[in-house]
Structure 1
Amino acid sequence: MLYVRGRSVAWVPPLLLLVTIAVIDYHTTGEFRIVSWIVLVPGIAAAICGVWGTAVFAALSIVTFTTVDNAWPHEFQTGLPDFILVAVGGVLATLACTVRVRGERRALHMRNVADTVRRTVLRPLPPFWGGLEHAGVYLAADAGARVGGDFYDIQPGPYGTRVLVGDVQGKGLGAVETAAALLGTFREAGFHEPELAVVAERLEERMLRHRGYTAALGRAEGDRFATAVLLGFPADRPATAGPRPVRSHAWRPGTAGPGTAGPGTAGPGTVEAVVFGHEPPLAVGPGGVRPLPVTGGLPLGLRELDPAPVRVYRLPLAADETLLVVTDGVTEARDAAGTFYPLAEDVARAVAQDARTVEPARLAVVVRDGTLRHSGGRLDDDTTVFAVRRTGGPRANTSKGEVH
């Protein structure tokens, strides 16, 4: 509001007030003088102008006061007391403006730091990356923090493209630090490891090591853990390639649940999934919405409660289906009556109204808007919406010498 065509007009309000007070005082009777109100001018300038602008208006106020007051006969002049009031008001306004500007600069610096942290944890991703089309929405519960414990990333590699979406338990910088540690491990293991189960094991190990590190520093963060969904989109393999052994479970339509998959069944029409105590992804297609039939394992960091091997699920995924993964900021969003947000029903209704909703960008916006509408804009937890599907195009940057 204080800029017109890129130029600041913050000086206009105090200048108009200065002129208005001077004109009104000049045209009133001697019994009703308002020239001392000119002390308001530097006060308003202090709120919207810079330090030098405020100092200029403080000086103009003194000059205008002296000129207008001396234009009256001696018996109607307000005299020295009001002159002192205007002068002291200008000095105090300039000092107050100095404090305000320093605070704004500090706040801007902290915002830049927060933005740098956010770009480190949630690095910008090309819209088409590693043969996947994706869209992500992140809303921090603390708008001032701009980043929290939710995280997501995509890592292309020679064995396919891996996707990680998760939520670190707790809030604050400790949660952000944990998310950064997990993402660093994912970017390395997701590129170099042939099997998704090994990537999952590396994430678990990293979580335990990070907890040991924070404990050695004497930071009382308790038994911090993280829920997550790890997805693998296998690379297209030549028909002559031998089977690739995977410790996995598969599900086929018409069966009661996951079973043991035979080797070599991975391909363009499948997706591999590991769930660490997280809500299972939703497969959203023109025909409707279905949850992937995977049972959630324990969150990262709680493996000692169940030392069984990591379970990798290999599931069919149609070419026109988009996988939707959300954190508990979405699933636990409540309205005024305490009702949870009906995610699957809302998405199914949107797809029925417009089949283009299955596109990742549209789907992420639908879920974001639905969550904010349902909760009345009040977010009690960090909120992440991530939608991803295959593009069928060539993969980007998957040569075995690069890590992105």
Structure 2
Amino acid sequence: MPVLITVAVALLALVCGAGTSWLPLLVVGPALAAATSGPWGVVRIGALAMALGAALGFRGGEPGGQQAILLATVAAVTLAGALAGALRRRRERVLADVRSVAEAAQHAVLKPVPETIGPFQAAVRYSAAAAEARIGGDFYALVPTPFGVRLIVGDVRGKGLPAVGVAAVVLAVFREAAYDEPDLLDVVHRIERSLARDLGPDDFVTAVLAGYPEADRMELINCGHAAPLLVRDADVLPVEPVRPAPPLGLRALAGEPPTVQDVLLADGDQLLFHTDGVTEARDHAREFYPLAERLARHVTKEPSGTLAALHEDLLRHVGGQLHDDAAMLLLRKPDRARDATNGPGPATGARPRAAGPTPAP
């Protein structure tokens, strides 16, 4: 583009035959090159502009003083552009190093979720609200343990680096306690004790923990978090807690201990865990994202495909840019006989239900 602009200006001056009146525009080429090229690229564009300016000025018989001023202007802009290009390249290298560190931090804090874990198919989708960020205040973890598959999905109050630090603490404690504690409630207690040392007086963490200790039974502990959505046959049901517990870090104020809720999982059932960045996303009319309705529309037998469709639909709803961190983790218990018969196509007939009995024994 800088070369094309420089040549176009020279051709314009040549065709119009207006002396050097168009030639000052030759500085546009080196100025633009400073934003797209390195210092040597800027120098080459500047040399081309100076050569064309000298040739056209000589051809038009312009006074030497005017030609000297023109060439000096192009040379000054070229030198300034070369310096700017060198500084930009240096900042780009620093930014690349920072991004590589951010990628490493993301993989250390938010580890990838396998496609299959224990008896489940699994998928996760995460979007940080901060521009260029890879991680925010929302978090998740899904791990196999001696006590079955266990997971946590949560949201730290606030945004930015402080929220990331708290999320890292919660995940580190969860991954250790999930392997050590036979009782899922003890995992929650371990996290509470750790947060008591790290949280500020106004901070808290909402989270839902789940464990699969035996066939067909999922344990849930909901600490002030958004209710998971259960996809069963033709229904999408919110799994509301029977006894709501306060968020992590606020138990001392509420005095209400968390309780374990059992959810029966049949073959083919799916369970979507999410954060409020999904359900509280608004469109231009300030309407919330209808997650249950859209899940019923996009659910398939492949969790990764379901979350990909939901994520694209969510971005369309908000106009392309989320304003809060958003995480979704989907588990599906395969139905071997039905999947073999019908193939991996969409699960049809699902519909959201705003109310109904909690799917517990």
TM-score range, shorter chain: 0.7 to 0.9
Q: CA offsets per residue over residues 248-303 of structure 1, 9 Å max, x none? A: xxxxxxxxxxxxxxxxxxx3111011111011211113322112242331111111
Alpha-carbon offset, residue 101 of structure 1: 2.2
Q: CA offsets per residue over residues 178-228 of structure 1, 9 Å max, x none? A: 1001101111111122111111211111211222xxxxxxxxx44211101
User: Which structure has the highest helix share of the two?
Assistant: 2
Q: Quick one: structure 1 residues 349 and 62, their matched pair in 2 at CA, closer, same or farther if it must change by over 3 Å?
A: closer
**TM-score, with structure 1 as normaliser:** 0.76
Q: Is the 8 A contact 1:130 1:155 kept in 2?
A: no
Q: Could you tell which deviates more after superposition, 197-206 or 92-101? A: 92-101
Alignment of 1:207-218 (within 5 A): 207-211=195-199
One-letter code aligned to 1:275: N
Residues 1:381 and 2:324 are matched in the alignment? yes
Alpha-carbon offset, residue 81 of structure 1: 1.4
Alignment of 1:286-297 (within 5 A): 286-295=233-242, 296-297=244-245
Residues 1:226 and 2:205 are matched in the alignment? yes
DSSP 3-state at the match of 2:288: coil
Q: Is the 8 A contact 1:280 1:292 kept in 2?
A: yes
One-letter code aligned to 1:287: A
Alpha-carbon offset, residue 358 of structure 1: 4.7
Alignment of 1:11-22 (within 5 A): 13-22=1-10
Q: Is the 8 A contact 1:155 1:187 kept in 2?
A: yes
Alpha-carbon offset, residue 360 of structure 1: 1.5
**Separation of aligned partners in 2, 1:114 and 1:177:** 13
One-letter code aligned to 2:225: H
The gaps in structure 2 that reach 5 residues or longer are 337-361
Alpha-carbon offset, residue 389 of structure 1: 2.4
Partner in structure 1 of residue 284 of structure 2:
336
Partner in structure 2 of residue 269 of structure 1:
216
**Separation of aligned partners in 1, 2:3 and 2:312:** 43
Alpha-carbon offset, residue 41 of structure 1: 1.4
Alignment of 1:110-129 (within 5 A): 110-129=98-117
**Separation of aligned partners in 2, 1:280 and 1:334:** 19
**Separation of aligned partners in 2, 1:24 and 1:268:** 79
DSSP 3-state at the match of 1:333: coil
Q: Is the 8 A contact 1:149 1:169 kept in 2?
A: yes
Alignment of 1:194-343 (within 5 A): 194-211=182-199, 221-234=200-213, 267-295=214-242, 296-343=244-291
**Separation of aligned partners in 2, 1:29 and 1:310:** 85
One-letter code aligned to 2:164: V
Q: Is the 8 A contact 2:113 2:123 kept in 1?
A: no
**Separation of aligned partners in 2, 1:24 and 1:306:** 77
**TM-score, with structure 2 as normaliser:** 0.85
Q: Quick one: structure 1 residues 66 and 273, their matched pair in 2 at CA, closer, same or farther if it must change by over 3 Å?
A: same
**Separation of aligned partners in 1, 2:99 and 2:321:** 22
Q: Quick one: structure 1 residues 304 and 78, their matched pair in 2 at CA, closer, same or farther if it must change by over 3 Å?
A: same
Q: Quick one: structure 1 residues 21 and 76, their matched pair in 2 at CA, closer, same or farther if it must change by over 3 Å?
A: farther
Q: Quick one: structure 1 residues 26 and 297, their matched pair in 2 at CA, closer, same or farther if it must change by over 3 Å?
A: same
**Separation of aligned partners in 2, 1:332 and 1:303:** 25
Partner in structure 2 of residue 29 of structure 1:
17
One-letter code aligned to 2:24: S
Query: Match for 1:368 among 295, 311, 318?
Result: 311
Q: CA offsets per residue over residues 126-150 of structure 1, 9 Å max, x none? A: 2223443211111111123332110
Q: Is the 8 A contact 1:131 1:392 kept in 2?
A: no
**Separation of aligned partners in 1, 2:92 and 2:209:** 41
Q: CA offsets per residue over residues 351-378 of structure 1, 9 Å max, x none? A: 5xxxxx2532132223323332333334
Alpha-carbon offset, residue 229 of structure 1: 0.8
Query: Aligned residues: percent identity?
Result: 39
Alpha-carbon offset, residue 48 of structure 1: 1.1
One-letter code aligned to 1:381: D
Q: Is the 8 A contact 1:269 1:318 kept in 2?
A: yes
Query: Match for 1:348 among 292, 296, 300?
Result: 296
Residues 1:142 and 2:130 are matched in the alignment? yes
**Separation of aligned partners in 2, 1:231 and 1:333:** 25
**Separation of aligned partners in 1, 2:256 and 2:206:** 17
**Separation of aligned partners in 1, 2:41 and 2:210:** 57
Q: Quick one: structure 1 residues 171 and 30, their matched pair in 2 at CA, closer, same or farther if it must change by over 3 Å?
A: closer
Alpha-carbon offset, residue 31 of structure 1: 4.2
**Separation of aligned partners in 2, 1:24 and 1:369:** 47
DSSP 3-state at the match of 1:79: helix
Query: Match for 1:57 among 45, 54, 57?
Result: 45
DSSP 3-state at the match of 1:374: helix
**Separation of aligned partners in 1, 2:308 and 2:10:** 54
Partner in structure 2 of residue 5 of structure 1:
none
